[in-house]
Each structure stands twice: as structure tokens, then as C-alpha cells.
A = this chain, B = another copy of it.
Amino acid sequence: MSATSLTSVSFNTSSWDLKRREGGKPYVRCGSPASSEKTVRVGVLGASGYTGSEVLRLLANHPRFGVALLTADRKAGQPIASVFPHLATEKLPDLIAIKDANFSDVDAVFCCLPHGTTQEIIKGLPKHLKIVDLSADFRLRDISEYEEWYGQPHRAPELQKEAIYGLTEVLREEIRNARLVANPGCYPTSIQIPLVPLIKAKLIEIKNIIIDAKSGVSGAGRSAKENLLYTEVAEGINSYGVTRHRHVPETEQGLSDAASSKVTISFTPHLMPMIRGMQSTIYVEMSPGVTTEDLYQQLKRSYENEEFAILLGNGVVPRTHSVRGTNYCLINVFPDRIPGRAIIISVIDNLVKGASGQALQNLNLMMGFPENLGLHYQSLFP
């Protein structure tokens, strides 16, 4: 059965899922739908990093996506539990090298590989696969910009033309029909969701957009670097990549599209002593005569039917605590002390709406499912 034919969905979970742990007796498994219903066979390429494991955490409760393939070249041959002990309770395939993967049994893949190598690998994948790429490799339409910011020429320019930028709330229809989705970066997601509608409606000036962003540490991935050690991160804060962060061109591309003219932003990311979570505090100048109430009403109109982009009630401050482990982006608008200016706050979980959650949201669309399927999580608070 072709996964793409699954657009008309009928559930039947009256039969409990029977599961065996090694050497054990069968027992009923429920709460998640029966595995017989998991008709879309999903692969995770690069399953030994945080975005890979986060995809697996989310898929554990997905009624239709089953995990058929996990790759991790340096950990090939190992069970996933040896890399991520918290996944020991889940029944998952062992890790294999990508060169040994048989994609004929796979309908779709999440590509959780580092930028640079990703291009080559996706170029080599069979064409029947739906692909959500979580790397930065297909996010910039202009491949000369890619070369400028990533220090190497783009190796798959033809694929770049095909790739759809996966900011779901903004490009939903295009994503539905895409084969290759370039999943947005965490910072660009948190910034574009509130700004795109305001820029499109010409409610804010596109010059002097100042973004002070704060990120949890998991955004830097699982690589062992001195500056990411507990001892170096806990109990302190620091800015990094001041004005030179690689998420700048991606963000400017999206905002420029919305403005139909070139937008240059001020963007300063800060590394925070928290595992997950991201806040963008955005300082903008409103267009002449516009009030913060106008901004609020515009965002309300834009997002009132959205599941995951949520405008909070008047005056309520979005908190990263409210989105931990969830796919929500909470936003709000505040008047500034300086007349004519506004402050916009946006929070996400960098690993979910900022990475794996939005990726799943996109794959849901690409496979013809409701986009919120399997994404109904409340924040792990406290």
C-alpha cells in the first residue's frame, strides 16, 4: 500500500496491540494506536543526534507513522538504546549505516544529518521518498548565499529548486504538495511566525527590526564541545555569533518575501542555561498611525484557526515553560515605552516547533494527514 494514498483515514484500534518484550509474555499495549495501523513507514537518517531522538519521542504516540529505519553511521550495529537510554522502552530497529539502508521499505524520511553532507545524501535518495530535511542545506533559495554563510558551494542546486521551505503556518499549501521540505531553523521559526503577518499587512517598518533571541543548549546538538559543558553553561549567559549567526540569511529571506523588498535584521542570539526553549524578544517600529492593538488584531486574524501558533490573551507574557516538549509557538505584542514602538515576544521549544515537531507537522501534511496528528502534547511543567 502506498503511503500517499492514505488521505482518507479510517481508524480501527479496537484490537489492542500485542507486544512482546524479549523473553517475555505478550501483553496489551494501548494508549497509542495498534501498530497494524502504522501504515506509513518512516526512516530517520541521523538518529543519534537530538533532533533524531526527538522525532522518535514524538512518533511514539503517532497513530499512523511507524519507524522502519534508523541510521547513524558511527553507531551502526548498535541498538538505539545504547545511544539514547531513554528509548529502551520503545520497540525500534537497530541503527545501521546509511549505505546499508534499504529504502524500498520506506515511505518517508526525516533527515537529521549535519549541513553540508546532507546535500549529497539527499541527492542519492530514491525519488519515491517524501523527505523532511532538518538541516540547513535546502533553506536558502539563493545558493550563492548558502556558499557565503556555510563556506562551501552548494552541491545539489537542482534539488534546491524543488525544495519547499517548511514554515507550516506560512507555506502550508506548498508543503502539502512537496516531496522535499527544508524544515526551518529554530530562530527563524520563532521570528517569522509573529513577523510575517505584520510585515505582509505593512503594520511595521522593515528597517531596524531588532531581535534579541535566547536559546536553550540543545539547539547546539549533542557534539562534545567545551563551551557546551555543564560547567561552562550553567549559572551564566552569553551572547554568541553577534550579528554573524547562520540563521540570519534564512530569517531575512522569509521576512524579505513577506515585505517584497530586502529586509536586514539586527539579530543577537544568547546561550541560556536551560536544555530546551527559545524566546525571541523583537523590537519593532510601527508604521505611522499604527497601534499595538492593530498588531494584536492582525495576529489574531492570522492565527485564530491555527493549532500551534497561539496568540495569548491581552498582556499575557509568553513563557518558554509553557511550551516545553510541545509544538506550540506562543506569541504576544506589547506597547513599548517609546511611542511608536512595539515589543513582540515569541516562544517555542527549539527541538519541537523549532525542529522535529514542525518536521512531523510537515510530514503529516505531505502524507495527507491532519497536520496535528500525533502532536498533541502539553508542556512538561513543572
Q: Complex Cα distance A291/B6, Å?
A: 54
Determine if A210 is an interface residue (Cβ-Cβ < 8 Å).
yes
A residues sitting closer than 8 Å to B (CB atoms) are 9-14, 16, 21, 23-25, 27-32, 50, 53, 56-57, 60-63, 84-90, 207-208, 210, 212, 214, 216-218, 222-226, 228-240, 242-243, 248, 264-268, 270, 272-277, 279, 281, 283, 300, 304-305, 307, 310, 312, 316-326, 328, 334-338, 341, 343, 345, 351, 370, 372-382
Among residues of B, the one whose C-beta sits closest to the C-beta of A210 is B283
Chain B CB count within 10 A is highest, among A24, A86, A376, for A86
The reply to whether A372 and B29 form a contact with Cβ atoms under 8 Å apart is yes
The reply to whether A376 and B61 form a contact with Cβ atoms under 8 Å apart is yes
10 A-B residue pairs with CB within 8 Å? A11-B13, A29-B376, A85-B322, A228-B230, A230-B273, A232-B321, A239-B279, A264-B338, A270-B281, A324-B380
Contacts of A229 in B (CB 8 A): 217, 222, 224, 228-230
Contacts of A279 in B (CB 8 A): 237-239, 270
In angstroms, how far is the closest chain B Cβ from the Cβ of A178?
21
Contacts of A235 in B (CB 8 A): 216, 234-235, 274-277, 321, 324
The number of times this chain is found in the oligomer is: 4
Interface of A is mostly: loop
With A14-B10, A86-B323: A231-B305 Cβ-Cβ less than 8 Å:
no
From B14, B90, B223, B378, A378 is in contact (CB under 8 Å) with B90
The reply to whether A214 and B274 form a contact with Cβ atoms under 8 Å apart is no
Contacts of A380 in B (CB 8 A): 57, 276, 324-325, 380
The reply to whether B231 and A234 form a contact with Cβ atoms under 8 Å apart is no
Contacts of A343 in B (CB 8 A): 242-243, 266, 268
Contacts of A217 in B (CB 8 A): 229-231
The reply to whether B230 and A234 form a contact with Cβ atoms under 8 Å apart is yes
In angstroms, how far is the closest chain B Cβ from the Cβ of A52?
12
The reply to whether A265 and B11 form a contact with Cβ atoms under 8 Å apart is no
Contacts of A300 in B (CB 8 A): 23
The reply to whether B234 and A265 form a contact with Cβ atoms under 8 Å apart is no
With A266-B283, A317-B242, A343-B268: A324-B89 Cβ-Cβ less than 8 Å:
no
The reply to whether B31 and A61 form a contact with Cβ atoms under 8 Å apart is yes
Q: Complex Cα distance A61/B341, Å?
A: 41
Contacts of A335 in B (CB 8 A): 243
Chain B CB count within 10 A is highest, among A12, A87, A281, for A281
Q: Complex Cα distance A231/B312, Å?
A: 23
Contacts of A9 in B (CB 8 A): 14
Contacts of A16 in B (CB 8 A): 370
Q: Complex Cα distance A243/B283, Å?
A: 12
Q: Complex Cα distance A208/B207, Å?
A: 13
The reply to whether A50 and B324 form a contact with Cβ atoms under 8 Å apart is no
Contacts of A265 in B (CB 8 A): 337-338
The reply to whether B325 and A239 form a contact with Cβ atoms under 8 Å apart is no
The reply to whether B239 and A317 form a contact with Cβ atoms under 8 Å apart is yes
In angstroms, how far is the closest chain B Cβ from the Cβ of A81?
8
